[in-house]
Amino acid sequence: MLTLFRYNWQVRDEWFDWCDGVPPGELTRQRKGGVGSILRTLFHIVDVEQAWILQGLQGKPEFHYCYEDYHSLNAVRELSVTCHPKIKEFVESWSDDIEDRKLDDFTYGEVLRHVITHEIHHMGQLSVWAREVGMEPVSANLIGRKLV
């Protein structure tokens, strides 16, 4: 599971770098699907990851950041950087005895796998939108990333 989190984090950072070459208006332009825009989708990915892992799986009430407080690429990137160390610490401390713990109707393992696939799903949406902007998307290839 850790390898897939590392994959998501690496690809997310590559999307942030990709966004540096996109006009800000294209990052915030409303699009079909997803949560509406490239920037809002990146924000959503970070927010959902922290809500599930830093809140739900640690027995705290679920908390969501407000997109309006993070309305620039740099602000969303900084939120990702800020949340990352504690998320990484939790994921790296994962053990088999946590797998079947319950959070409402789900196991912790199901929640972690959902967080992984949630981000991958949205990265696919970003890839479609990248082509709409006329740019090559970030590679989704896991092979060759040296994540183990």
One digit per residue, the tens of pLDDT, for the chain of length 148 reads: 899 999 999 999 999 999 999 998 999 999 998 899 999 999 999 999 999 999 999 989 989 999 999 989 999 999 999 999 999 999 999 999 999 999 999 999 999 999 999 999 999 999 999 999 999 999 999 999 988 7
**Domain assignment of residue 146, yes or no:** no
**Domain assignment of residue 125, yes or no:** yes
* pTM score: 0.95
**Domain assignment of residue 41, yes or no:** yes
**Domain assignment of residue 47, yes or no:** yes
Q: What is the CATH number for 115? A: 1.20.120.450
**Domain assignment of residue 138, yes or no:** no
Containing 103, the helix (H) or strand (E) segment is strand 102-103
Domain with 67 in it: 2-133
Tokens of 121: 């799903």
Q: What are phi and psi of 134, to 5 degrees?
A: 90, 25
**Domain assignment of residue 144, yes or no:** no
Give the count of domains, the chain.
1
The neighbour count for residue 46, using CB atoms within 10 Å, is: 23
**Domain assignment of residue 50, yes or no:** yes
